[in-house]
Structure 1
Amino acid sequence: MKRGFEIVSKYSSKNLTLPYRTTNNAAGYDFESAEEIIIPSIWKLNFLKVLWAIKHEKNVQAASIEKARQVLKPFLIPTGIKAYMQPDEVLIIANRSSNPLKRGLVIPNGIGVIDSDYYNNDGNEGEIFVQILNFGISDIKIQKGERIAQGIFMPYLLADQDDQQKKQTRSGGFGSSGK
């Protein structure tokens, strides 16, 4: 087994589709949403008052700023999918080109990076989630089975000094290597 996809155990009976390439020359494998989910428009959420106050150099309480930060956090769309690959490969999760243009949906960090040691980790079995923010005017309803992102397997290179750097073993799921 070199690289591929599997369904995580909690979705084993949910009739999910493994990621697939839509055309013969497509680089990306289309990922679908494992569940129906509503992604609210950021403009409907209660952070505009804080932005107005900051723009007009008004005092803003720390609690209000923290509340605004919480509102602007991306939503995680579950895919129910995990990916296995070679140790020197990575799966890059990229937005579908139609999402920002037609729907106002963006991946806030630009891309997602799925490392080979994310597969079958103790934290979440390696389930891949897609981070999304909705900059559109209205809420967006994502249907189960709707294409939400694409994944591209890629090899990566190491720096000459890589063997001298301290490394840790992955101990959890989503975002665990940033601890």
Structure 2
Amino acid sequence: MNKRGFEVISSYAGKGINLPMRATKHAAGYDFEAAEEVSLPAIWKTAIQSVSAHLWDFFGDDQEQMNEKQEKKMKPVLVPTGIKAYMQEDEYLQLTNRSSNPLKNFIVLPNGVGIVDADYYNNEGNEGHIYFQFLNFGLRDKVIHKGDRIGQGIFLRFLKADQDETSESERVGGFGSSGQA
């Protein structure tokens, strides 16, 4: 029985997706690559455009609509990896940023770290496709190219409390969903 590892999701089969690998024999993290080219808009450019638009239309009636439009532009961007991970029930895959991303590329994980639960693997919502979400705090848009190393994954065990109680429900969704409100 396989304990933990990676597979290419079916929709990316045959598209040159590399399984995550550790860069050195003592590295803790497995390097993930982008599965396709993605543009990360600079949030400062979007923020400046938003302020300019608000000033221009200060007396207009479409403030709420404009706010919604600008918020959509400033949301994190999901970068697909084409990868899914399998692991034991008491493990999770922690997704972390590459240390060079903020320094060299001005991109950060807005949630700090990502958590991929064991039951995310092969879920009905998206087959367990792992994405990294990024914000670009630079002044220019950043293009991530297919094959660029974007983040790392580290398999970790977790402990449960003595009085651990969970619902018996199964995962019903894909990214960002445990099926709980």
TM-score exceeds 0.5: yes
Report deviation, 1:85.
0.1
Superposed, which structure 2 residues align to 1:97-136 within 5 Å? 97-136=99-138
Contact 1:41 1:140 in 2 (8 A): yes
Residue 48 of structure 1 aligns with which residue? 51
**Which stretches in structure 2 are left out of the alignment for 5+ residues?**
56-61
Superposed, which structure 2 residues align to 1:161-172 within 5 Å? 161-163=163-165, 165-172=166-173
Separation (CA, whole Å) in 2 of partners of 1:36 and 1:72: 19
Contact 1:92 1:154 in 2 (8 A): yes
Separation (CA, whole Å) in 2 of partners of 1:152 and 1:51: 43
Separation (CA, whole Å) in 2 of partners of 1:114 and 1:85: 10
Superposed, which structure 2 residues align to 1:61-140 within 5 Å? 61-140=63-142
Specify whether residues 51 and 110 from structure 1 end up closer, same or farther in structure 2 by C-alpha distance, changes over 3 A only. farther
Report deviation, 1:31.
0.1
Q: TM-score, normalised by structure 1?
A: 0.89
Separation (CA, whole Å) in 2 of partners of 1:92 and 1:110: 10
Residue 58 of structure 2 aligns with which residue? none
State the AA in 2 paired with 1:48: V
State the AA in 2 paired with 1:157: L
Residue 16 of structure 2 aligns with which residue? 15
Contact 2:35 2:147 in 1 (8 A): yes
- Corresponding residue pairs, total: 173
Residue 35 of structure 2 aligns with which residue? 34
Contact 1:35 1:145 in 2 (8 A): yes
Once the two structures are aligned, what percentage of the paired residues are identical? Answer: 56
Separation (CA, whole Å) in 1 of partners of 2:54 and 2:156: 39
Separation (CA, whole Å) in 2 of partners of 1:142 and 1:77: 9
State the AA in 1 paired with 2:19: L
Residue 25 of structure 2 aligns with which residue? 24
Report deviation, 1:49.
4.3
Superposed, which structure 2 residues align to 1:149-160 within 5 Å? 149-160=151-162
Q: TM-score, normalised by structure 2?
A: 0.88
**Which stretches in structure 1 are left out of the alignment for 5+ residues?**
53-59
Contact 1:47 1:71 in 2 (8 A): no
Report deviation, 1:62.
3.1
Report deviation, 1:81.
0.1
Report deviation, 1:40.
1.3
Separation (CA, whole Å) in 1 of partners of 2:133 and 2:51: 22
